[in-house]
A and B are shown apart, each in its own frame.
Chain A
């Protein structure tokens, strides 16, 4: 199905300018929402100047519900685990529907410590994981290096987490694009400039160039830009901010393969670094975390710090070709958890603020958004993530 096709549904003729659901933002969150909505029989359109892009183009694709656990985020853990559980079936369905390989790899993760301070930090994480009932196993430094011989001899210990896997977000985005197209989703390759609100209800969007799209329901899934769409009432605008991450890509030549056989991560003297090895030889090193607005410059300092820490962890990686450096913007929310489902403005749903966990939360987001769009209510697992938890008094008024 092409976007120029005219199709008939419920007796109404459409050229894509009128739909049941209009998704603003064609990153993986917008795409999975559109795909799942279309599967439920809703005529769905996506507006994005460059669909399939966004933060997923940069992200490493760790599915790290257990190793990304933080104090005070136990509620988010539940959603993360739910989505991790759905990943195998989600990938199977997506690959079946499109013929694409999304690079899902059930390889597990090894989180290691390089000195006594980092070891104490990791021990604390292990205690928290155990309290939360998660499966992770403490290993000695020697045991870590038996699993991953390329690790530095200085490794003092580590956590083996066999449930934290990986996917290739770029291939995931491409597959979701294909799935959307096959499900009849219409793509408008333009920037949405303004939400249309008619009689206190979201009714569509105006695009750059003036074209108007009309829909019964609008989903705002514009990642870090979600807080900037004009026309959204101030008290409904999601409190999402950009958090910059710089990421490096290296290539493991066949002679060095496999180099690493699972995701390896560490806190190196207080700063976090991870190495995600793909089956196709790509090795992703990430990531910085910077509050610098919409800046996506790759800086000397960012690259230096990532390489410095990664080299300390896996000294041999300096032999590998450095193929790419890039920076993206995580959509950060005040409590690091996503905003899912109906907003205070009738007709407007939110699917944004996924912060560090957008790739991990893609399957569950698609499911709960489709449910919200067809029934008007959020399934139980998504209730804590209603946008309404950010009450209007907490919203900022434009200066």
Chain B
């Protein structure tokens, strides 16, 4: 699909699958999964990492030539998130940040007010801000208006594997957004990723669905194909849904089965 590049924050990507690294059972499994996924962009939690250590997750990403996207996982206030983003910029030399500000540890749902405040501050500070947000079209619009480079709504809570619970909201967000919309959180299996792409998402971001699968590398490969298939289906344009059948075989030119005039 070289004619169908995905542009995010001014950078072009071939792969529309963004991976996370959380929950991988080992570095080896993570590496095989990343390779199988074909991802070119992968998030790491800045609060759970020391970028100076060799042999860590970062070394794996460097070796595979995958662009690192730091995130602010674990932050509950705009203040913490802004601080974490700045530390990430200093440590990794990137002004891209996947912004996460969650409201409570039970649901890990985004805190809209804090998220918007942090996004505003970081955009002003020169960051390319990719916010993890609720599937709320109004909040999505506000995040775009303050200058976020993408909108990353959740399909369902992080790690739940419940898929896209409100596809209609996704459609509303996609229809109004001028920046890429990326499914973030909730994908449990390949059909969830395909559905996101069919709904018009520009990309899919996931971690647990792969890292916690029984065979992570196999699931990574499934996700890669699902994202590609969903994207192709979206571009191809699905047929309208009908209430009754519409025969797929033509009725003209059928063999004449007139008992008066046997065909053979």
Which residues of A come within 8 Å of B, CB atoms?
70-73, 227, 239-242, 269-270, 290-295, 332, 334-336, 396, 398
Contacts and interface: CB of A to CB of B under 8 A. Distances in A.
Nearest to B25: A70
Contacts of A396: 54-55, 59, 63
- List 7 tightest A-B contacts by C-beta distance, closest first: A293-B50, A241-B55, A293-B53, A335-B28, A334-B28, A334-B27, A336-B26
Given A334-B27, A334-B28, A396-B59, A292 B49 contact: yes
B54 A227 contact: yes
A229 B28 CA distance: 23
15 contacts: A72-B26, A73-B25, A227-B55, A241-B27, A241-B53, A241-B56, A242-B53, A269-B106, A291-B49, A291-B50, A291-B56, A334-B28, A335-B26, A335-B28, A336-B28
B52 A293 contact: yes
Interface of B is mostly: loop
Interface string B32-63: 00000000000000001110111111010001
B51 to A, nearest CB: 9
B2 interface: no
B48 to A, nearest CB: 6
A188 B131 CA distance: 55
A242 B27 CA distance: 13
A240 B31 CA distance: 15
B174 to A, nearest CB: 30
Interface in B89-123: 105-106
Bin chain B's interface residue count.
20 to 34
Given A295-B50, A398-B54, 13 more contacts: A71-B214, A227-B55, A239-B55, A240-B55, A241-B53, A241-B54, A241-B55, A290-B48, A332-B27, A335-B26, A335-B27, A336-B26, A396-B55
A241 B59 CA distance: 11
Nearest to A228: B54
Contacts of B138: none
B25 A336 contact: yes
Nearest to B105: A269
Contacts of B105: 269
A227 B54 CA distance: 9
Contacts of A294: 53
A396 B26 CA distance: 17
Nearest to A121: B212
Contacts of A293: 50, 52-53, 56
Contact of B26 (A270, A292, A334, A398): A334
Contacts of B27: 241, 332, 334-335
B29 interface: yes
A355 to B, nearest CB: 9
A290 B50 CA distance: 9
B159 interface: yes
B90 to A, nearest CB: 16
Nearest to B62: A396
Contact of A291 (B48, B63, B159): B48
A336 B49 CA distance: 18
B44 to A, nearest CB: 9
A270 B50 CA distance: 23
Contacts of A241: 27, 53-56
A270 B31 contact: no
A240 B216 CA distance: 22
A269 B49 CA distance: 22
A254 B55 CA distance: 46
Nearest to A292: B50
B52 A71 contact: no
Nearest to B57: A291
Contacts of B50: 291-293, 295
B69 to A, nearest CB: 17
A292 B52 CA distance: 9
